[in-house]
Amino acid sequence: MRRYTRHSGIPGWNQERLASSSAVVIGMGALGSEVARMLAQSGVGHLVLCDGDTVSESNLNRGSLYGATDVGMAKVDAAAAHLSAINPGVHVDPRPTWSSCGVGLSELRDADAVLSCLDSRAARVELARRCNLAGAAMLDGGTWPWGGEVRLYTPDGACYGCALDDAGRAESDEAVRCGAPQNGAASAASAPVSALIGSLMSATAIRMLLDLPVRPGVVSVDATLLSSHRVRAERDPACPLHLTIPAKAVERSPYSSDALVRLLLARLEPGETVLTWADFPSPDDAAARLIQLRDAAPDQRLRDLGVAPGEILTVVREGRPDRYIELARGGRR
């Protein structure tokens, strides 16, 4: 294909391999749109884009995908349209919601790369926890006024939460409704710095997709000095985010997140209950997000509660996780 002629001669590049690989991009602000564009131009075959926000005029000073006519559209839908125009050969799967509601644990597990382009600590902690549960690496990026960081966390090493204290990790415990806007205070950001960090993330992601060596850890980039350095990132044995779902305990369900609550509950044994992240308050604790599915209305659809496609739900017996149910990925988004 002539589109990719200039890739030939790049050591380790394999166009067919990229075409058959998939990447999940969580957060479609400036970093996410840079990353998604570069992966699409490179010929990555399947892109899942997840963001519950809409394009605002204040997004237009940076990022390479959105224009004035996109203001008011869901970011993922605007991005999908532009990416399809840039490279019609790429399949783009837009998820207009927040990460734990939009991308299931089995999708994180099975993706060839998970890119975190989020703009808050709480959202990164939550994604780190979910990547660890799924046994997935997390490639995270962050920017500040004249620089930023690229952070690659692998399941056997440090995670984003390892560098935080308990208060920092606990920020993810704040109730966040899947359907509600999640905008934090706007921070300073510009086109060149977003492109700089987005480029480094994209190069790392493509090397991961090509199974070329990458070095886990944190790299800090300073645009005022045109310099970069590695930041120490060690696993904290006390970091509580390192729970992993044992693969042997996962059972595949015929139901997707389109299924009704009662269908899933009917598959439980006596004494079992299912926990899920959901979009309605528990009767016991209005702030809790991890709730028992039996507290939901039986004729609600799982996805209307904020259960993601391909989510892995925890089945609890006598207060302990006993087995896990993996939802099918079909159904509407």
Footprint of Zn ion (CB under 5 A)? 159, 161-162, 239, 241
Q: Which is nearer to Zn ion, 12 or 240 (CB)?
A: 240
Backbone dihedral angles phi then psi of residue 201, each to the nearest 5 degrees = -65, -45
- Which residue's CB is nearer to Zn ion, number 13 or number 160? 160
Q: Which helix (H) or strand (E) holds 25?
A: strand 22-26
C-beta of 43 vs 161, nearer to Zn ion: 161
Q: Are 21 and 46 spatial neighbours (Cβ–Cβ below 8 Å)? A: yes
Shortest Å, Cβ 240 to Zn ion: 8
User: In this complex, which beta carbon is closest to Zn ion, that of residue 164 or of residue 259?
Assistant: 164
In the bound complex, what is the minimum distance in angstroms from residue 235's beta carbon to Zn ion?
A: 6
Tell me how far, at minimum, the Cβ of 132 lies from Zn ion, in Å: 7
| Residue nearer to Zn ion on the CB measure, 129 or 303 | 129
Contact in structure between 10 and 31 (CB atoms under 8 Å): no
Q: Chain centroid to CA 48: how far?
A: 9
Q: What is the helix (H) or strand (E) element at residue 133, kind and residue range?
A: helix 121-134
Shortest Å, Cβ 237 to Zn ion: 9
Q: For residues 122 and 170, what is the distance between their CA atoms, to the nearest angstrom?
A: 8
Phi, psi of 24 (to 5 degrees): -105, 125
At what angle are helices 191-209 and 30-42 packed, to 10 degrees?
40
Q: Are the C-beta atoms of 23 and 50 separated by less than 8 Å?
A: no
Decide whether 159 or 193 has the Cβ nearer to Zn ion.
Answer: 159
Token pair of 35, please?
A: 């990353």
User: Between 66 and 153, whose beta carbon lies closer to Zn ion?
Assistant: 153
Neighbouring residues of 138: CB distance < 8 A, sequence distance ≥ 6? 114, 116, 127, 128, 131, 151, 152, 153, 159, 160
- Distance from chain centroid for Cα 201: 14
User: At its nearest, how many Å lie between Zn ion and the CB of residue 151?
Assistant: 12
**Closer of 125 and 274 to Zn ion (Cβ):** 125
Shortest spacing between CB 239 and Zn ion, in angstroms: 3
The H-assigned helical ranges of 141-247 are 166-170, 191-209
Q: At closest approach, how far in Å is the CB of 268 from Zn ion?
A: 32
Using CB atoms, what's the residue nearest to Zn ion? 239
Residue 147: left (phi > 0), alpha (psi -120 to 50), or beta?
A: left
Cα four-point dihedral sign 73, 76, 78, 81: negative
Task: Find the Cα–Cα–Cα–Cα dihedral 60, 95, 77, 114, rounded to 10°.
Answer: 50
Tell the smallest beta-carbon distance from residue 242 to Zn ion (Å).
5
- Residue 288 CB, nearest distance to Zn ion (Å)? 22
Task: State which residue, 158 or 274, has the beta carbon closest to Zn ion.
Answer: 158
